[in-house]
Amino acid sequence: MSSRDLIETELKDIQKKRLLLSEKIKDEQLDLKGQEKLYQSFVLDMQDQEVNTNRLDVELDTRLSHLESHYVTTYEKANKQYKHVTNLEKANQTVNELKQAINRLGLVNLGAIDQYKKIMERHTFLTEQQDDLIEAKETLYSIIKEMDEEMIKLFSETFKQIQHAFTDVFKQLFGGGHAQLTMTDEDNILETGIDITARPPGKKPRTLDLLSGGERALTAISLLFAILRVRPVPFVILDEVEAALDEVNLIRFAKYVKLFSDETQFIVITHRQGTMEEADVLYGVTMQESGVSRLVSVKLEEADDLMTTS
Cα–Cα distance measured from residue 68 to residue 245, given in angstroms and rounded to the nearest whole number: 114
pLDDT at 147: 93
- Is pLDDT of 305 > 60? no
Instruction: Report pLDDT digits (tens) over 163-172.
Output: 999 999 999 8
pLDDT at 80: 72
Cα 135 from chain centre? 19
Averaged pLDDT of the chain: 83
Q: β-pairing, 265-269 with 235-239? A: parallel
pLDDT band at 10 (very low <50, low <70, confident <90, very high): confident
Give the H or E element holding residue 160.
Answer: helix 112-174
Report, as an integer, the average pLDDT of 264-281. Answer: 88
Instruction: Report pLDDT digits (tens) over 128-161.
Output: 999 999 999 999 999 999 999 999 999 899 999 9
pLDDT band at 45 (very low <50, low <70, confident <90, very high): confident
- Is pLDDT of 220 > 70? yes
Q: Is the dihedral of CA 187, 189, 195, 199 positive or negative?
A: positive
| Strand order across the beta sheet in which 178-183 lies | 178-183, 194-199, 206-207
Alpha helices (H) along 191-285: 213-230, 247-260, 273-277
pLDDT band at 94 (very low <50, low <70, confident <90, very high): confident
pLDDT at 38: 80
pLDDT at 303: 57
**Range of 59-63, 92-96, 125-129, 183-187 with top mean pLDDT:** 125-129
